[in-house]
Structure 1
Amino acid sequence: MSKQIPLLFLVIFTCIVSYSQTKKEYSESDLDYFKKKFYLNREIGVDSSLYYMNKLLQSNNVAYKTFGYAATEYLKVREKQPINIPFKDSINKYLPKIAKTNKNFSLLFDTYILLGNSNKRRKLIEPALQNYITAENYALLAKDIERTIKIKGNIALIYQDMEELGKALNKAKETLKLIEVNKETLSDKYYSSKYKRMFNVAAIYATLYKNNKKKHQYADSSLHYYNSILKTKEFKLNSYYTGKVYYGMGTIYSLKKEYSKASSFLEESLGLFKKSNSQSYLYKGYYNNGYNSYMLNDLEKAKLNFLTALSIKKDTVLDQNYMYMHNYLSKIYSKQNKIDSANYYLNTFLNNYNKVSLREKQQFKEAYKIGFDQKIKELKEDSTQKKLYYKTIVIGLTVIVLFISFLVIKNSKEKKKTKKKLDELLSKISNKENLSEKPFSLSNDLKIKDEQHQQIIKGLLKIEEKEYFLKEEFNLYNAAKKIGTNTTYLSKIIKDHKKMSFNDYTNELRINYIIKVLSSDKKVRSYTTQAIGEIAGYKNAKSFTRIFKKHIGITPYQFIEKVNKEL
């Protein structure tokens, strides 16, 4: 009997698994419930939404199952989670099998708009456009006005991304007409739909004017739509959306070179963005307001706006505004005779300029070329100013060329120095020699002054031996406490005998330790930088990488690549 119990358990377990994997029969009310859980993903959490979508994947209804796949793909793309190939193939497998009937038109619309959103996030603009156009056809077949308006707006935005502004404008205006015709049908959604499309049209006209400053009608049309939005009280805009309108008007007046008027609108928008805590628009708003102040020769105000914008930027992605700000700050500090600050922002600008792509460099040069051509045209009217201008240009170009040459030479020397240091380090690792030029232990080169001195040295040797320096709580205070001395005396002894600060001493111990581990343990070399840093006693990957590169000359990742290749 006892032998039959495991067999019985196995049979029961198999039945449970088989039952759990059986395809489910879901009703339309079930589908509506699952869809609601999906659209509430930001409130209930992505994992919860994925759980409900996984239930849909078990449905025996092809349309429901396909929506589940499309919704899951969108969430994973948005959250930058991996998607395996079989999963992608499943969408292509089930999508053509959905019957093209009235019953499925709405669900087909939802599926194709999700596929379009996923492709748009992947920067696959053409496939996204095709998905949206297909979704539009199903919205029309379903005679669903709300969905038709929504998808036409998405298509207009796609055309903007493709820089096909004529098509974008036509689609946005087409959507506005549709909203007006269906005002009664839309009911309470009429004003929210109308605002979005009016804002879209205003933004498209602004871009058209930016691309062709001779077409003043574009600027007038953009301002007309922005003003109409502000005058329509029924829109009931909150701080964020009202701020976007003022920001749009401010950018138009900047393009028209009416800088004082532009500043008044931009400052109004900044106050509203502060209320709504919109960091992205605050960043752009302070930059544009700084630019207007610079053009009005209000250097202090311009500087304050640029510095505020730089303090808001948290990501490391380079954008043109970020580069322009460093250039303008360099000019401002130069005019104020603050040479050190001017050099700092100029160097930062040049370093960032070298990091951007060739396409971005060309855009940057074109943007500046417009300004230079205009200045040259103005200087031709005055021969004296013309000579001074060319002299300044020559001097400026010479300085830039010399500076860039200096950076190239300096960089080349640093690379050679780093390579030599790394080759020596790898040689020591291969021969199992000591990694430091100085002895790793403090015991070899010390002159013991007194008993207390000797006690501290022994304490430090014990710390090294027990590898207490790897613990997160290891610092000057805790080390002194562990040894039985005070921080001042401990710091002085380390400085006398190691010729370095306590922090540098700690970093030397930790980096030498992790180099030994990486060179001897292949498994550790496969860990993430964060995990390796924690082994070495650092709280985060960023500080570990910075300190490692300072000591070794390359990043931990580059060192691991080198070790894997040469050892």
Structure 2
Amino acid sequence: MTTFKYIIRFLGKNSALFFFFIYIQSSYNQTNKIDQFHLDKLSFFTDTNNDSILFYAKKLKKSKKPCNFYHALNMEAKAFYQKGLIVLAEKKVNLVLNEIDHKNEYCFKKNKITALTRLFWIYKNKKQYQKAFDAIIKKINVLESLDIKDNYYHANYLSTQNNLAIIKSVLGFHVESRKILKDMIPLLPKIYSNLNNGDYYHKLFKSSTFNLIAESYLKSSINNFKYLDSASYYFRKAFEVAKTFVPPHKNTETLYYLREAEVFIAKKEYRKSLNLIQKYSKNSKEFNTSQNINSLKAICFFNLQVKDSTLHYSKLYLQNFDKKNNNKKRLIAIYNILSNQYYIGKQLDSAFKYSELTIAELKLLDKSKNEINKSHYLHNYNDIKKLNRSILEKEKNSFNTSIFIISIIILIFVLFFSFMLKKNRVISKNLNAIKKQNSTQKKEYNIDNQLEKEILKGIIDLKRNNYFLETGFNIQNLANQLNTNTSYLSYIINKEFNKSFKEYLIQLRIEYLIEKLKTNKEYKKFTIKSLAEEVGYTNASAFTRAFKKYKGITPSEFIKGLNQ
């Protein structure tokens, strides 16, 4: 107290110094208030608005406190990462780590921990698993150097266990990975209870952990199909937690249903998966899900044997593929799909090209011991290698025999053409006679009432299950599904709807597309060719003719009318 009185007495005698002291104190307090305002804003927008994060991080970088400056850099890295700008995020993180490497104050250590956490996720998503593991070890070392083992320490320790569980899952140790993750969940409430924004981070960590458990079940489902139900269960639990976030995450519902779409793919229920993907494609650009959606559509259409859509979405994925993001698993899946699709279509040059790319990427992936001999439900490693080597071998052998085969074909064609020319005259004459006879007759069938009801129900169900969107779908396909013949089927459609099967199919497809154009703005941005493929047409001209015949205007004119 005596010292304080002496200082006051001294400042009283030196009024200029007194007022200077008051000014410095006031400025310091004002700076603290401004910094705290920016810190609060960054905390509020941390997982909801990347542009706002970048705005307030830029403001906080002007702080006179070094720890706040590096916190701002870490937040910029987070925003870039969430935007998918991985290279920029990595640069920001490495800048923080390089500049504070030898600083041991508590706040600098916290910035190191934040930067190393972000670095782990960057390397994990780039499939650089050894570097990701190194980041975990460095983070553990910094954590252990903290003098106080408080809730902050325990929360970050759990985070490192979470990271190690991810690495174990990548290695294929799914049971161990899930045990680590499940053991964490009961510990979360106590650890996060006394932290700033503890309730939010508790929910965020819990939701993330449930998703990781679900992904582990999904990855191991190739050896045990029943795991798929567990995957759905934990994805749902993660979604239920995420719905309670404050502030809410706008992409919560979309991300959940895209994960469910992957489960349907694993179950080989491709039509269900495709319906979910279509429904949640609306905000793909805003939520940074476009590439995931393109690849999932390619996988679904390939397995549904819709060639044009398979090629369209595969090439769309490759067109927008960012090598810096390095998503090798999905890239290999798309290369493999293209090599298969071209192989099926006997286009060996293209099959050869994508087979080479598949094998090359697999060899690169082999270098990471974490991926050696591991299967994934989107593409089985060994099957891919076997198939693509077969394609490469066929391409090699095909060149040696192609000249001989072409010579034989030319000879056969000449002989066959002369024979068919004569035969076609007879066939043409017979067909004209049959058409004439059919035009004067109309068949009536005495079909059992119960059978007729069952067939009619199957026809109506067709509208609900969207089978009519498949390329090449015809009356024979429907007859096979309903265990009847095409004649009965054609008769019932004509009787009930006063249309031929072809006219009824056109109606279903065009009405489906019209509904999509009215309710989903993304469809208005599609090319006519893409719209055609969405409803089962392989040819844009045929689609346009069918649309105009049904609506009286072209698809382009119809879309223009919707936009007015």
- How high is the TM-score relative to the length of structure 1? 0.46
- How high is the TM-score relative to the length of structure 2? 0.46
Asked which structure has the greater RCO (Cα within 8 Å, sep 6+), the reply is: 2
